[in-house]
Chains A and B, each alone.
Chain A
Amino acid sequence: MKQNLGRHQDAVARRSNFDEVAMGFGLEEAVTEAARCLGCKTKPCELACPVNVKIPEFVDLVHKEDLGAAASKIFETSLFPAICGRVCPQETYCEAACVLKDKFGPVSIGRLERFTADYARKGGLIKPPPCAPDTGKKVACVGSGPTSLAVAAELRKLGHAVTVFEALHEFGGVLCYGIPTFRLPREVVRFEVDMLRKMGVRFLKNVMVGKSITIEELKKDFDIIYIGSGAGLPTPMNAPGEDLVGVYSSNEFLTRVNLMEAYKFPVSDTPYYVGKRTVVVGGGNTAMDSARCAMRLGPENVTLLYRRTRAEMPARAEEVENAMEEGIKFEFLTAPVELEGDEKGRLKRVKCIRMALGEPDASGRRKPVPQKGSEFYIEADSLVVAIGSSPNPVIQQTTPGLSANKWGGIIIDEATAKTSLDGVYAGGDVVRGGATVLLAMKDGKAAARAIHEKLSAKGN
């Protein structure tokens, strides 16, 4: 029997809504898909999972239709299955390790994880896990994205008091402002945050650590600080004309659309502008999200420019396919060189150049080389720059003694997640640069172990 990839919203219909594209399994589909699992003793899938979800065991419980137990089994190692089941690139982790992969297609582990979490959530089968008695130790998490949520969950279970500080007005970091609702519905994120609240984690919004309060000040009131402030500084193209009206960083565009719900304007108050023709620059998941959001705001067309070929795109294959199905036009081996505007300072057209792939660069990928004389123009009213992001430097700049590398990434001891400052730990994108939700959670879990050891050590 072949892998079941689940149902999807129709490619044309979904262009005009922000509802979830992947519709998930029904109970029957889930049980049938779970039956495909061979229950390998060696558990290659579990070993390949960055947070080591007990995959064969929970899949077996799904097969037995014991969804409450299946959810509890996942919770033993990960408190966020409804999120991970949706946004984790399983094809490079658990599903890549599945023994069925080559002959029949892997077990749809991500979709089963998601189904289990959704079913248990909707059925009220999820109870907050028990927490150890209060230790009297206080931990502050800076940022409320995936890495901080993982730290908060682990340390609260161990009995430590945890306070999460968020600069924005909603909790979840990139899960709220970055990833669109058609990939991750907001009720899923809110449910997970609420569960942590029920466990006793305190959440404070509208506090920008580094501006509202400094790390040094927090150190007076907390035993440990975990910095999980992400990589929220957009990388500019540095092309002439980037200042024109209609040119957005992907962070601004996605924050308007997702966090501020600009797609509901004027029912919501935050406006957006896409005009008739939108261009998106980049080849990662953020570029896919930007292009697909833009498409749903009703322009005549959306064109994506990527300077390499489809084979080198860092975006998940599924997201690229979804984007193509939705009618987004891809211009590979193409880069913008100059943005031109009208007399009001609004974007009018994009001067592009064709590339050819040259020798591999330091990252091992073949370097795009501009082709002389290949310049051409694309008419555009708006353009979204999605070529990467780096850590927001405010905390690094306002915390004396906190070591950072030249990209602004906080330097940690890999084994313990400790920064150069005593009692201050860090993980996720603020250390790695823009990476994935799952690696951020993995960092959080590992840091929580090290923090717990430190807090449990004698003399503490």
Chain B
Amino acid sequence: MGEASKISRYLYTVIVLFLIWLFLTASLDPQELGFGLLLSLIVGAFTYEIFTTNGLANLHPKRIAYAIAYIPYFLWAMIMANLDVAYRVLHPKRPINPGIVECRTVLKSDVGKLSLANSITLTPGTITLDVDGDKYFIHWIDVKDDSVEGASKSITEPFEKFLKVIFG
């Protein structure tokens, strides 16, 4: 995916920063809105070059819809994984079978890889140790399949179907 134009990247940064400002101040006072816009414009001018490469393309409706749908999906995966780890901790025999497995991802963009790594780490039972190109090295509390394909199927693929649309 090529880089978007400077204007598109700048506008995208300003929009995101302004949204953050709205959440921070939680007020629709015109003075707050004015200063929020001003500060977003200034901070955006300094930071847009390292913040984004896709620019406004990130605001495609399909991507936003998938991103919103991903939040409950991810939270559900997180709760289930936490319960699973709690079960392993409380079980008298401690049924663990730890190991480090390698997974492959189909994600291309850096941000996509970051969110996949964070999603894997935040679902207990799996921790991302390192990311190298399209290879993920993951510490798994209960290794069921140590082949690359098998591990990818149960670790990365559930998240990938969303993240692929959101970040490419």
Decide whether A and B assemble into one complex. no
